[in-house]
Structure 1
């Protein structure tokens, strides 16, 4: 998260389903997949925060359909997923890390790779992310931004999904959530299709799983998710405040003109 949004490529199809939770090296994983699969990766956090407004709006709809749970809603949800992932070679990060069973139906030949991390370190990282995502002023500050004005609604829908899957409430994701996610994956993905990968292990194990050669003289990408999320939060908060400043200035000028008239 925090990088530039990827652009779909004609003819590209999903080859890898990234099943790892956010903050498990998904940004580095995404960048590595783009190199070895020679196509764009759909990193959920980045596409939602840096992509066009339709990205976040579509996932809110998909999450609402998922929550309904009936067959008709499931079909509508899968339609949205297909539309958003069309033209990508891989998908990583939330919300798709919670759509793994549905993704397996849509892409039966894709490999399922779960980025892994020490649960205690993951818990500490999530505390930081939750603090940024649940700031009380976000809805008001982001209101003037066409896409990010929906961010709080998105996090609320995502929280509903996580509560149903893992039995935890928003803002309380800890090492137990991590363990429950792993258990959930093992229940829903055939053992022979589920692979765990740590980005610190570099190219060789990843290339072996996807059947690609190790890139020569190219270091494995290491992107700091924590720094990226902070930069993205600061970027959108600044945009929101600047937009509010312009709105208030326009209102002030208009009111002053009306008074003088």
Structure 2
């Protein structure tokens, strides 16, 4: 997860569709793209959790129209995604990686770059995050907070919609993802993206392969960003739980006080 939500820059052209799954260095990748493309990047995790509620609410509505079954569904999905991603130089992370075909239709000149890492390490990392994210009590704790009150519903819509469609899962949020999701994702990308547009990139390789893929010069005197995404997510989660509990204490306290005043 990035540090802060990015702001759209009117007139900016989207040049990169980030097709990497979460926990593949997408925060570092996003920061690198901001540097070399000199514009804002729509990092899904950051925009959804730290931006306006409009982000999560819009993605929920998009996901509820998947699988796409009619021209009206398709029109709705394309228009809503465009409304979120126009005026950014790139989109990365969830749920953009699920909508590569739609994003290619909206931005036909964009390069599709899939961030990768060791598959088993990725599976363990995602499983740990999913276990923390899918605890039943989070719905209650996060309810007083905006935009996070929408996050559990977003996970449910993702699991029941495009995620289940692409990865043949149960359609319900699950703690264990499994390497089969990784394999199916890579297969899906090879099927829908022309070979000349598809790039696989490991953030540990630094600037050179990324800049080569985008036809950019390697930034001079700037180290490739190294953002500890897991630490950032865990810190953010603890903060949100704390805020939610404090908000509930205030709400309950207000109700109790109001009842006491009414009685006396």
Alignment TM-score, normalising by the size of structure 1: 0.97
Q: Where do residues 127-166 of structure 1 align in structure 2 (5 Å cutoff)?
A: 127-160=127-160, 161-166=162-167
Give the aligned partner of residue 259 of structure 1: 263
Match 1:191 to one of 190, 195, 199 = 195
**Structure 1 Cα separation of the partners of residues 68 and 19 of structure 2:** 22
Residues 83-127 of structure 1 show CA distances to partners (whole Å, capped at 9, x for unaligned) of 101210000001110000000001000000000111000001011
The equivalent position to 1:203 in structure 2, one of 204, 207, 216, is 207
Summarize the alignment of residues 17-36 of structure 1 with structure 2, pairs less than 5 Å apart: 17-36=17-36
Partners of 1:203 and 1:68 in 2: CA distance: 37
* Superposition map of 1:170-185 within 5 A: 170-171=173-174, 172-185=176-189
1:1-261 → structure 2 map (5 Å cutoff): 1-160=1-160, 161-169=162-170, 170-171=173-174, 172-260=176-264
Per-residue Cα deviation, 1:118-162 (whole angstroms, up to 9, x for no partner): 100000101111112101101101111132111111001111221
State the secondary structure of the residue aligned to 2:139.
Answer: helix
Determine if contact 2:56/2:147 at 8 Å carries over to the other structure: yes
CA distance in 2, matches of 1:102, 1:167: 19
In 2, Cα distance between the equivalents of 1:34 and 1:212? 13
Distance 2:56 2:132 in 1: 17
- 8 A contact 1:2–1:50 mirrored in 2: no
Unaligned runs of 5+ in 2: none
Superposed CA RMSD in Å reads 1.0
C-alpha separation between the residues in 2 aligned to 1:143 and 1:18? Answer: 30
Conserved 8 A contact 2:6-2:41: yes
Rounded to whole Å, the distance in 1 between the matches of 2:140 and 2:255 is 17
How far residue 164 of structure 1 moved from its aligned partner, in angstroms, is: 1.5
Displacement of 1:66 after TM fit? 2.5
- Runs (4+) of structure 1 exceeding 6 A deviation are none
Tell me the secondary structure at the aligned position of residue 151 of structure 2: helix
